[in-house]
Structure 1
Amino acid sequence: MKTSTAWLMLLSAGALDVLWAISMKLAQGYTRAGWTAVSLMALGAFVWLLGRALTVLPVGSAYAVWTGIGAAGTALLGAAFFTETLSPLRVAGIVLIVGGVVALRAATPG
């Protein structure tokens, strides 16, 4: 697998991590069948994509990028869909996470 493909799989895994977190909330403790199914499918898909990406990418960078995408994306969508607050401190934290993800990607060969 090419490194660029592995990075694309990793970014997709990060997006699915966000979908998993949001759908898990919407599943309301796994009591809503439709959202439960979405949550479990997203979970399976992101684990598979992450595992494939890790066959090529360094685990330290890849895992940190994946969790950063999940953390920042979930915080932003939580504010958008669930009226969670986006205080200046939370926004600063998200900016720092995104900056860290960009720095790790830039520092990783390939």
Structure 2
Amino acid sequence: MGIANFVKNFFYKSKRKNQKSGLLDRIHISMELLVQKSENLNSQFNEEKKQIEELALEAGKIVSSDEIFSAKLEQDILGNITAVSSACDSALSGGNNSAVKEALASLKTVISQRIALK
């Protein structure tokens, strides 16, 4: 019975580790795609484009953590990336320009919180 528990725990921990690195991989890929999307914004959004590039670099500094709260923040980061992406889509189609700034502020906050967890 001891060996069975060891094997079970081994695979469970490996799966959990893969899920954590999977979230970080998704964050990095999503930020790269967001940078590419932001390049389509007009010159009115030069400051926001710069912020998106800086946030992509900051997101690249996130290291894996065993804390449960880190996984929650990583999921929040992915949600905020989606919000920024949607705001960019809206701005590209002539919608609310302030939505990009608001979504970026939220993304910046959650990335800063996650980086602080180290």
TM-score category of the 2 structures, normalised to the smaller one: 0.3 to 0.5
Which one has the largest radius of gyration? Answer: 2
